[in-house]
Homo-oligomer: A and B are copies of this chain.
Amino acid sequence: MERFSLSTLDAWLLQEVLAVTGQPPIRYVAQCGAQALPADGAYLATVRFHSRNALLRLILDPDTGFGDGFAEGEITVEGDLVGALAATFRAMNLRRRRGWLSGLVSSGLAALQPRDLRASSRNARHHYDRGEDFYSHWLDRQMLYTCAYYPVPDLTLEEAQIAKMDHVCRKLQLRPGERVVEAGCGWGALALFMARHHGVEVKAFNVSREQVRYAQWRAREEGLERKVEFIEDDYRNIRGSFDAFVSVGMLEHVGPEHYADLGRVIQNAIGRRGRGLLHFIGRSHAEPLSTWIRERIFPAAYPPTVGESARVLEYADYAILDVENLRPHYEKTLMEWLSRFEAALPAMREAESEDFLRAWRLYLAGSVAGFRMSALQLFQVTFAGQDYTDIPWTREHLYTQRAIDLQTSTRSKESWMAAMS
C-alpha cells in the first residue's frame, strides 16, 4: 500500500509540475517510474527526477529547486537540453506564470541588493576570479567572455570575437593618439585590440585581480604595456580625462541604484566632447534574473531594459546615437561556448566538481534558451556629448568598410588571426 500511495503522490507531483510550467512538450519521470506527459503526448525531452526529494524541493522552492537538483545530479535531462529549456520558457511565458526554469522571477530584490565598493568587488570576483584555466577550456583564444558579433553567420567564434571588437571600435570611431577609458575590461582583449589596431592609449579598469594580472601579462608579452594600463579598481574610482568611454559586459553588474554614479563617472571622464559605448545584457521589460542565477552563478547581476539603462546617459545629457540588439549573436555565441564546454568536460573534471560543472552547463544552456526566446537581449548603446562633432552621417561605415576589410589582405581574417595567435 505504501509503495502504491507514494507512487500516486509522485504522479500527482509530476502533474503539478506539468501544469505550473504551462504544459510544455516535456515528459517528466519520477524515480518510481511514474510519468507525466503533455496533453498531446508529444515531447522534446525527458526530465528525470532521481529522488522524491528533488521533486518535492522543486515544488516547495521553485526558484532554485530545479537548478540545484540539476547541479546535484538529482534531476537529469535526456534529449536536447537547450530545446527543453526554451520550450519551457515559452510555455511558462504564454501562461504568464513566473518561477523556476523561466529565469523570470518577479521580485524586486535584485535591484535592492547593496553594491558598495567592497560588495561589488566580492560579487564580481565570485564569478571572474575562478581563473583563466577554467574559462580557457571553452572561451575563444583571447578569452572574451561577452557576446561575439558575426557579420556573416559562418565565422568561427575566434573570428566573431575579433569582429565584435572591430564593430565596437567602428562605432566609437577611434583615431590614433586618442585616449580611451574602459570600465570592466575582462582579460584585456578589447583594450589591447584598440591600442594595436587603432593606435589609442587605454586605461582599463577591473575589480577581478586574476583578470587584471592576466591582462597585464598579455600587455607585456605583446609589447603594449606603454599604451595600455590595466588597473585593479572599481569603475567609480576612474580618474582622468579621455576622448572615449567603453564598457562591454559591466553594466549588468552595476545595479540600477548606481546608474547615476556611472553617469557621473562618464561625465567626469569624457565631458561634453566625448563619446562612448555601453554593451550589456538587457531585457524587454524590467525584471530581475532568476534567483538561481543570482544566488549560484552571478551574484547581484541585473540586466536592465533600454529604458532603465538610458538613465546612465540622461544623467549628464548624453545623446543616444545608436542602439543595436545583438540577441541572435549572443544565442550563437552561447551555443558555441556550450558545445566547447561539453566537449571539455572530461578535461575540466580534473579541477572542478561534478556539481559545479552541471550547474555551469545548465547556466550556459539556460542562457542560450533565454536569448532564443527573447527573455534576454544584448544591447550595444552608442552615445555622444553635446559638443561631439564627428557624428557619422549614416551607419553605413559599420557595414561597407567591413566588407572591404574582410576581403583584402591588409586585414584579412587570416592576418587578424595571426596577429592574435
Please list the residues of chain A having a beta carbon within 8 angstroms of any beta carbon in chain B.
Answer: 93, 150-151, 153, 284-286, 305-311, 313-314, 317-325, 327-328, 373-374, 377, 379, 386, 391, 393-396, 398-400, 403
Taking the nearest CB of chain B, how far is it from the CB of A267, in angstroms?
A: 12
Is B319 a contact partner of A284 (Cβ separation < 8 A)?
Answer: yes
Task: Tell me the complex Cα distance, A309–B314, Å.
Answer: 13
Task: Tell me the complex Cα distance, A93–B309, Å.
Answer: 24
CB-defined contacts of A308 to chain B, threshold 8 Å: 307
Is B320 a contact partner of A325 (Cβ separation < 8 A)?
Answer: yes
Is B313 a contact partner of A310 (Cβ separation < 8 A)?
Answer: no
CB-defined contacts of A398 to chain B, threshold 8 Å: 395
Taking the nearest CB of chain B, how far is it from the CB of A147, in angstroms?
A: 13
Taking the nearest CB of chain B, how far is it from the CB of A38, in angstroms?
A: 19
Taking the nearest CB of chain B, how far is it from the CB of A405, in angstroms?
A: 13
Total copies of the chain: 2
CB-defined contacts of A373 to chain B, threshold 8 Å: 386
CB-defined contacts of A319 to chain B, threshold 8 Å: 284, 325, 327, 374, 377
Is B394 a contact partner of A396 (Cβ separation < 8 A)?
Answer: no
Taking the nearest CB of chain B, how far is it from the CB of A398, in angstroms?
A: 8
CB-defined contacts of A400 to chain B, threshold 8 Å: 399-400, 403
Taking the nearest CB of chain B, how far is it from the CB of A346, in angstroms?
A: 34
Measured CB to CB, the nearest residue on chain B to A392 is B328
Measured CB to CB, the nearest residue on chain B to A323 is B323
Taking the nearest CB of chain B, how far is it from the CB of A120, in angstroms?
A: 24
Interface centre among A313, A319, A325, A374 (most CB of B within 10 A): A319
Measured CB to CB, the nearest residue on chain B to A376 is B319
Interface centre among A314, A327, A394, A403 (most CB of B within 10 A): A394
Is A399 a contact partner of B394 (Cβ separation < 8 A)?
Answer: yes
Task: Tell me the complex Cα distance, A286–B307, Å.
Answer: 12
Measured CB to CB, the nearest residue on chain B to A385 is B374
Task: Tell me the complex Cα distance, A310–B321, Å.
Answer: 15
Taking the nearest CB of chain B, how far is it from the CB of A248, in angstroms?
A: 18
Is B320 a contact partner of A284 (Cβ separation < 8 A)?
Answer: yes
Task: Tell me the complex Cα distance, A401–B120, Å.
Answer: 46
Is B324 a contact partner of A395 (Cβ separation < 8 A)?
Answer: yes
Is B328 a contact partner of A314 (Cβ separation < 8 A)?
Answer: no
